[in-house]
Amino acid sequence: MQKILVTTDFSNNSKAGIRFAMQLAAQGNYELIFYNVVEILKPATWLDAMFKEFSDNEIERFTLGLQKFVHQIHWKSKLPEVKYSCIAEVGLDVDKHIVAFAKKNKVDYICMSTHGAGKVAKLFGTNSSEIITTSPIPVIVVPQSYRIKAIKSIVYSSDMENLDREMKHIMAFNESIHDVKLDVFHYEFLPNLEANKKHLNKLASKFENDNTKFHFKKLEVDNSLSVQMHRDIPASKTSLLILFTKQNRNWFERLFLSSNSAEMTFNTKIPMLVFRK
């Protein structure tokens, strides 16, 4: 059984990631670990024993609160029972604690909500962007506007450079949730697209079937990739967008931000699964 670490700070925004993880677990063979980092500063006048006692009490209090928080969300979701646990830990650097816990417990995915309302600039100021750019574990990022629905269609945006390796990860994920359609989108400037058409079709032929389709699109000079993807990908029908990244912030800026404006929006309700290249 694969494990998903689901982070929460008890905010309304964080409920989106919890809902998506529950939906994923209801469709596949996943165990969920709901995780909260309790940020506590040690007063200079406190002895170590005093601080440990206080920390232990806070962990117990937050763990009980987390159990109630998750139970309420699950009850409202009306989804089938899923296997999960709730864990709270004391720490100051939330991002590092999340990644360290995930590695120590050998989780397969980290799932978290964004805190923005669609503006990518807001995403880059949250824990989600920091974890995406540092985590060796794939990260699922869920927009706060997400509402529960069955996962039926996945879009993978590919540069086609490491297709064999990347498709192994994607096919393993797809097989865990059963009967999911996959659309692979690849964008290139028109001259390259025409020149590479035969090579691209050959690569695609290894994976195309009734549930997997490839789409080769012209990359437009005047628009960012996110604008084209937003236009090409039907948000109402797509359940998840999969990306592979070299994990640096410039990559995200090139992908999502228009050269003309840092206020460009990728205003969809589609969660993203980000793998490390």
Q: Where are the domains of the chain?
A: 2-142, 153-276
Q: Is the pLDDT of residue 265 over 50?
A: no
pLDDT, mean over the chain: 84
Which fold, 2-142? Rossmann fold (3.40.50)
- Domain 2-142 and domain 153-276, same fold? Reply is yes
Residues 6+ apart with CB under 8 A from 273: 109, 138, 139, 140, 141, 173, 240, 241, 242, 243
**CATH, domain range 153-276:** 3.40.50.620
pLDDT band at residue 256 under the 50/70/90 scheme: very low
Q: What is the pLDDT of residues 23-61, one digit of tens each?
A: 999 998 899 999 999 988 888 899 999 999 999 999 999
Residue 99's pLDDT is 93
Alpha carbon 13 to its chain's center: 14
Q: What is the pLDDT of residues 77-123, one digit of tens each?
A: 999 999 999 999 998 888 889 999 999 999 999 999 876 434 433 33
For residues 267-276, give the mean pLDDT: 78
pTM, 2 dp: 0.86
Give the SS3 label for residue 74. helix
Question: Is it the case that residue 276 has pLDDT exceeding 80?
Answer: yes
Return the closest-CA partner of residue 86 out of 2, 8, 1.
8
Which residue would you say has higher pLDDT here, 222 or 226? 222
Question: 252 CB contacts (<8 Å, ≥6 apart)?
Answer: 120, 124, 129, 132, 133, 245
Please determine, for residue 257, whether its predicted confidence score (pLDDT) is greater than 50.
no
Helices 15-27 and 48-77 pack at an angle, to 10 degrees, of: 60
Residue 243 has a CB neighbour count (10 Å cut-off) of 20
